[in-house]
Amino acid sequence: MSIIIPTYNERENLEELLPRIGSSMMDLDYEVIVVDDSSPDGTADVALSGELPARVIIRPERSGLSSAVLDGFRAARGDILCVMDADLQHPPELLPELYRMALSYDVVIASRYVKGSSLEGWSLFRKLLSKGSILLARLLIPRVRGIRDTSSGYFALRRECLPDGMNPRGFKILLEVLVKGNWSSVIELPYAFSPRRSGRSKLGIRTIASYLLQVLELSSPFLRFALVGAMGTLVNLLSLWSMRYLLGLGHELASAIAIEISLMNNFMLNDLWTFRRKRRGGLARSLLSYHVTNSMGVATQFVTSALLHRLLGLESVISQFVGIIFGFIVNYLMSRRLVWWWDE
């Protein structure tokens, strides 16, 4: 197993961590790789001079956590790749279990959020941030739905599960492995996450922003489409309501205009976000073909809404809402094939 430890200003922590790795791994077959970005506090010297042999990769300047881990992966010789923080938040005493579990599972996650885990030393804000970001990932990315700690910084995986073309930006290397990797079994091990021993966390507001981008990047197009649809629904109903009750228009006219407004709204969002501008044609052509492909859904929607209102005497907004649901499924199926060329 190759144990990869990215470091930036972790001198004191590393002084304690390396011997503890040595005594917990004992005679298991492993190597330690410290990837240090020329820390001003001389972290690399500790790694080089300690009694535990560690290989050290020194990079000329601070270039981010994920890219440090990727450089570590590249240099690693082990069949199992393991990543951990240097700051003693991740107890090295768990390493042998990670090692053993990695013999029968593709990915082994030291997890802060399974039964038996505990989390100490974090403010309520940091906890909420962590929980929220995990929830978002599980909501938006179907493949990680069953996993509790998708953003753990402490994990091991079999080398052959590593995807090619990983993104060196950001902090969330595990999330990328889980989304793009070739794994079939995963297990989470409980552990006690302890407070940082010394030094400061490197996680800042920019990390959080880049995480959000990463999650949105990895999310499935169907879920993005559904979110856009949900927003479009609100736009549609709000428009209908205003035209009916503020402007006093008749149901059919208001329904038709509301549908068109929400169509334009959805086209814009799907173009920019859901399908990332992978248009089959220019803007005008795409807009036209979006209308054509949605025409069945729109017709379904308009007719349902009108019938419910006229024949059953249902209230306008409610009729429109039921119409929207009927039209939605038809729309997704047609847009994905005919306006964009998303082929998953």
Binding footprint of Mn ion on the chain (CB under 5 A): 85, 87, 89
| Contact between 170 and 201 (Cβ < 8 Å) | no
**C-beta of 116 vs 204, nearer to ligand GDD:** 204
Binds 266, which of Mn ion, ligand GDD, none (CB < 5 to 8 A, cut-off by type)?
none
CB of 9 to Mn ion, least distance (A): 12
Tabulate helix, strand, coil % of the chain (nearest 5): 55, 10, 35
- Whether residue 322 contacts residue 304, with contact meaning beta carbons closer than 8 Å, is answered with yes
Both tokens assigned to 238: 């709000």
What are 66's two structure tokens? 């994920």
Which CB atom, from 151 or from 316, has the smaller least distance to ligand GDD? 151
Binding partner of residue 64 among Mn ion, ligand GDD, none, CB cut-off 5 to 8 Å per kind: ligand GDD
Query: DSSP strand E in the chain: where?
Result: 2-7, 31-36, 55-58, 80-83, 107-111, 118-119, 155-158, 186-190, 192-193
| CA geometry: angle 152, 158, 162, nearest 5 deg | 75
Nearest-approach distance from CB 58 to ligand GDD, in angstroms: 9
Question: Tokens standing for 73?
Answer: 């992966």
3-state SS assignment for residue 161: helix
Residue nearest to ligand GDD (CB): 153
Query: Toward ligand GDD, which CB reaches closer, 8 or 275?
Result: 8
* In the complex, least distance from residue 181 CB atom to ligand GDD, rounded to whole angstroms: 16
Q: Please choose, from the candidates 161, 168, 29, 66, the residue with its C-alpha nearest in 3D space to the C-alpha of residue 107.
A: 161
| CA nearest neighbour of 107 among 172, 155, 58 | 155
Q: Which residues bind ligand GDD (CB under 6 A)?
A: 6-8, 10, 35-37, 62-65, 68, 85-87, 89, 130, 151, 153, 171-172, 201-203
Residue 233 CA to residue 266 CA, distance in Å, equals 9
Q: Would you say 60 or 313 has its CB closer to ligand GDD?
A: 60
Q: Pick one of ligand GDD, Mn ion, none as the site partner of residue 171 (Cβ within 5 to 8 A by kind).
A: ligand GDD
With respect to Mn ion, which residue has the nearer C-beta, 85 or 149? 85
Shortest distance, CB of residue 59 to ligand GDD, whole angstroms?
Answer: 7
Query: Which of Mn ion, ligand GDD, none does 106 bind, CB closer than 5 to 8 A by kind?
Result: none
- Least distance to Mn ion from the beta carbon of 31, Å? 22
